[in-house]
A and B are shown apart, each in its own frame.
Chain A
């Protein structure tokens, strides 16, 4: 149980184009989803938190107009990197939890990640 998938697993796009990454909870309803970014040999950095049906909450320094997050259903959240540039190349990881707001254990279920390369 508690499986989270991401699509695509890797994507190459040209500079200036937009790319959408999907995150799905396969066997549970995710009231809250998180998007992380990880650069090589660095830690996962939380980009934003989204609750189903609400606007995402972005971490300081993350441009909300560049990283569009939609959490339209309890099983799907999307991250769109708009006007991508080479510095956006990274590993994007989503996670999902089943409890909105404060979590008893703060447990999140993670997707396998999406490798984005912008040329």
Chain B
């Protein structure tokens, strides 16, 4: 099975909040990440959280980390059409390796 799991699809109405959930397995991960991939483009680092933090807020983005349950979430406030993309959760495994989830396709509807 995969080490990082996330749901494959999320549909949200424009203006609402989106919440993407992820579970991971490596309790020694130093960083946990959210990447965004738009069509035809490479993955771009959206935000990250250090493993000793519970929450990180960056403008419309809020990352919550529950280390006990190994659960990571990304909340996008006031979701816009430009937020439609695939979002990947990833954990660091070792010095520089990343382990990714399968990606959640977020579709924003008017």
Residues of A bordering B, CB below 8 Å: 4, 9, 32, 36, 41-46, 49, 93, 95, 97, 101-103, 105-113
Query: In whole angstroms, what is the CA distance A41 to B86 when docked?
Result: 11
- A41 & B102 in contact (Cβ 8 Å cutoff): yes
Q: Does B82 sit within 8 A of A, measured CB to CB?
A: no
Shortest C-beta distance, B12 to chain A (Å), equals 20
> In the complex, how many angstroms separate the beta carbon of A67 from the nearest chain B beta carbon?
17
* Bound-complex Cα distance A106 to B48 (A): 10
A101, A105, A111 interface centre (most CB from chain B within 10 Å): A105
Please tell me the size bucket of the interface on B.
20 to 34
A32 to B97 Cα, complex, angstroms: 11
Q: Is the CB of B96 within 8 A of A49?
A: yes
How far, in Å, is A61 (CB) from chain B's closest CB?
14
Q: Chain A binding site: helix, strand, loop or mixed by DSSP?
A: loop
Query: In the assembly, what is the distance between CA of A108 and CA of B98, in Å?
Result: 9
**CA distance in complex: A102, B79 (Å):** 35
**Closest chain A residue, CB of each to CB of B92:** A106
**B 43-58 to A, binary, CB cutoff 8 A, 1 in contact else 0:** 1110010000000000
What are 18 A-B interface contacts by the 8 Å CB criterion?
A: A4-B42, A36-B100, A41-B102, A42-B2, A43-B88, A43-B99, A44-B88, A46-B98, A49-B96, A95-B42, A102-B96, A103-B95, A106-B98, A107-B48, A108-B98, A110-B37, A110-B43, A112-B41
Q: Which residues on B sit within 8 Å (CB–CB) of A4?
A: 42
The 8 closest A-B pairs by CB, nearest first: A110-B42, A102-B95, A110-B43, A44-B100, A43-B100, A43-B102, A106-B92, A112-B42
Q: State whether A109 touches B103 (Cβ < 8 A).
A: no
Q: Do residues A112 and B40 form an inter-chain contact, with CB atoms below 8 A?
A: yes
CA of A97 to CA of B95, assembled, Å: 12
* Pairwise interchain contact B31-A43, C-beta atoms closer than 8 A: no
**Roughly how many angstroms separate A82 CA and B102 CA in the complex, as a whole number?**
27
B8 at the interface (CB under 8 A from A): yes
The CA of A105 and the CA of B30, in the complex, are separated in Å by 9
The verdict on A43 contacting B41 (CB below 8 Å), with A106-B96, A108-B98 known, is no
Q: For B99, what are the chain A residues with a Cβ–Cβ distance below 8 Å? A: 43, 46
